[in-house]
Amino acid sequence: MPIAPMTNAVGIDLGTSTIKLISENYQYRIPSLIGTPNPGWQGMSSDKSWLNNLIIEDSKGQEVYIGELARLQSEIRKPLASEGKMKSIDNSLLALKAILSLIMKSSYEQFVVATGVPIATGVEESKKLSRGLKGTHEIKVRNDATGEAKQMKILIEQVFIAPEPYGTYWHSLKTSGVQTAVDSIIVDVGHGTTDILCMYKGNMMRAASGSIEEAVDSLTNALSRAIQEKSGKIIRPFDLMTAIEQGKNNILVGGKALDIGKAMDQAVGSIADVIVDESNRLLNNLPPDAWIEKVIVCGGGAYVFGDYLKAAFFEANIVKNKEEVIMPKNAVMSNALGFEQIALTKLKKQ
Ligand SMILES: Nc1ncnc2c1ncn2[C@@H]1O[C@H](COP(=O)(O)OP(=O)(O)OP(=O)(O)O)[C@@H](O)[C@H]1O
Ligand SMILES: [Mg+2]
């Protein structure tokens, strides 16, 4: 039976704190980290998944830890992006190849890749990433927990790169059934940065887009400071993330329950104000005939800041009613979902 070569459409969101990848039924999220190897006892770990035990060989034949494995086990960890832009193209390429290996069903496969990068990433860097991705690659990966090694070859036929929030813009247009381009602002509240992208007549407006450091991370930092002032106890910002994700107002500090509801409201309000102020400032760079019909709020921060942002965008007169501020159903994956749809479109045109 002849087997026709199949090309996979892949959507990626290469964020400053996590990388998201979507292809058909596969959905992955891994920390945007690579790290030095730090071998331990094999077979002892309870989690034997490839996703959390991913090692890849670099061009010099040296092993590099990727994602969760790097976060937990590497002594030296390097973020793939920070301050709103990509840091090392080579490292990003390595991480991308490693996660592509997760969706391979055979030892040779073809891909069309559409990926979002942080908004402040320069044109040169994007071109370099695109050049680096296109073509044939040998991939050698190993599972740290089981020791299993795999070798494969991939051909990346086409690459599309755009600022991350463009994925959500595309996704929202497709899912709402709107065919015409609507002037809109996409506000992606992530962990370490909030990216703001302005769309005018279907074009991404560079002068009216940018990124700021106020995001979920600023909220956990503010809460951690407030808790320390109140109780004298130190709670690391990172440890507050779960409480925030679960919407908990009461947390346990030094064995005593502490109500963080008020501190939370205050911090969320002031961070949301900064985000709206910055959006307002960026909007000044749009042509006068631009008419913002939609504000699309996405990223994990949409869950915490969504309601405040809705009210604040309305109060700042950026939208005429609150219903014009929308949130995609899956605000964390919406960029990657949109990029997958873009990759599918490119694939059909082939
Ligand atoms: N359901 C949720 N409710 C509240 N907060 C959430 C939820 N899901 C994720 N978050 C928070 O959102 C943040 C992650 O969001 P997201 O995945 O959009 O960030 P990121 O893309 O990795 O970061 P960046 O855009 O800065 O690179 C985390 O800080 C997480 O705690
Ligand atoms: Mg993000």
Check if 216 has its Cβ closer than 6 Å to any atom of ligand 1. Answer: yes
Minimum CA distance residue for ligand 1 atom 29: 191
Same domain, 195 and 122: no
Ligand 1, atom nearest to 217 Cα:
29
On average, the pLDDT of the chain sits at 93
pLDDT tens digit sequence for 197-209: 999 999 999 999 9
DSSP state of 286: S
**CA 343, CA 112: separation in Å to the nearest integer?**
6
With the most atoms of ligand 1 within 8 angstroms of its CB, the residue from 71, 119, 216 to mutate is 216
Ligand 1, atom nearest to 18 Cα:
22
Residue 210 sits in a domain whose CATH number is: 3.30.420.40
**CA 133, CA 96: separation in Å to the nearest integer?**
9
pLDDT tens digit sequence for 105-150: 999 999 999 999 999 888 999 999 999 999 999 999 999 999 999 9
Minimum CA distance residue for ligand 1 atom 30: 300
Instruction: Please report whether residue 343 resides in a domain.
Output: no
CA–CA–CA angle 245, 162, 109 (5° rounding): 90
Q: Helices H, strands E: what count in the chain?
A: 9, 19
Same domain, 17 and 145: yes
Same domain, 210 and 141: no
Q: Give 218 Cα–ligand 1 centroid separation in angstroms.
A: 12
Q: Give 150 Cα–ligand 1 centroid separation in angstroms.
A: 32
Same domain, 185 and 134: no
Instruction: Please report whether residue 171 resides in a domain.
Output: no
Check if 303 has its Cβ closer than 6 Å to any atom of ligand 1. Answer: yes
Tokens of 178: 């709107």
pLDDT value for 70 = 95
- Burial (CB count <10 Å: 0-12, 13-18, 19+), residue 63: middle
Asked whether the beta carbons of 10 and 24 are under 8 A apart, the reply is no
**CA 129, CA 74: separation in Å to the nearest integer?**
25
Question: What is the domain extent for residue 14?
Answer: 7-163
Same domain, 17 and 121: yes
Check if 192 has its Cβ closer than 6 Å to any atom of ligand 1. Answer: yes
Same domain, 142 and 200: no
Instruction: Please report whether residue 338 resides in a domain.
Output: no
Check if 304 has its Cβ closer than 6 Å to any atom of ligand 1. Answer: yes
Same domain, 146 and 214: no
Same domain, 34 and 81: yes
Asked whether the beta carbons of 342 and 160 are under 8 A apart, the reply is yes
Residue 254: other Cβ atoms inside 10 A: 11
Nearest one of 102, 106, 97, 103 to 138, comparing CA atoms:
97
pLDDT value for 39 = 87
Alpha-helical runs (H) found in the chain: 68-73, 89-100, 123-133, 165-176, 216-231, 241-245, 261-283, 301-315, 334-349
Asked whether the beta carbons of 136 and 154 are under 8 A apart, the reply is yes
Asked whether the beta carbons of 212 and 275 are under 8 A apart, the reply is yes
Same domain, 229 and 145: no
Instruction: Please report whether residue 53 resides in a domain.
Output: yes
Same domain, 112 and 78: yes
Angle between helical axes of 123-133 and 89-100 (0-180°, round to 10): 40
SS3 state of residue 331: coil
Neighbouring residues of 175: CB distance < 8 A, sequence distance ≥ 6: 328, 329
**CA 196, CA 192: separation in Å to the nearest integer?**
13
Minimum CA distance residue for ligand 1 atom 15: 300
Minimum CA distance residue for ligand 1 atom 9: 300
Same domain, 81 and 214: no
In tens digits, what is the pLDDT along the chain, a chain of 350 residues? Answer: 455 568 999 999 998 889 999 999 999 999 999 999 998 877 677 899 999 999 999 999 999 999 999 999 999 999 998 777 788 899 999 999 999 999 999 999 999 999 999 998 889 999 999 999 999 999 999 999 999 999 999 999 999 999 999 999 999 998 887 777 889 999 999 999 999 999 999 999 999 999 999 999 999 999 999 999 989 999 888 889 888 988 888 998 888 899 999 999 999 999 999 999 999 999 999 999 999 999 999 999 999 999 999 999 999 999 999 999 999 999 999 999 999 999 999 999 87
State how many domains the chain has.
2
Same domain, 145 and 27: yes
Tokens of 42: 């094999």
Instruction: Please report whether residue 218 resides in a domain.
Output: yes
Check if 15 has its Cβ closer than 6 Å to any atom of ligand 1. Answer: yes
Minimum CA distance residue for ligand 1 atom 12: 300
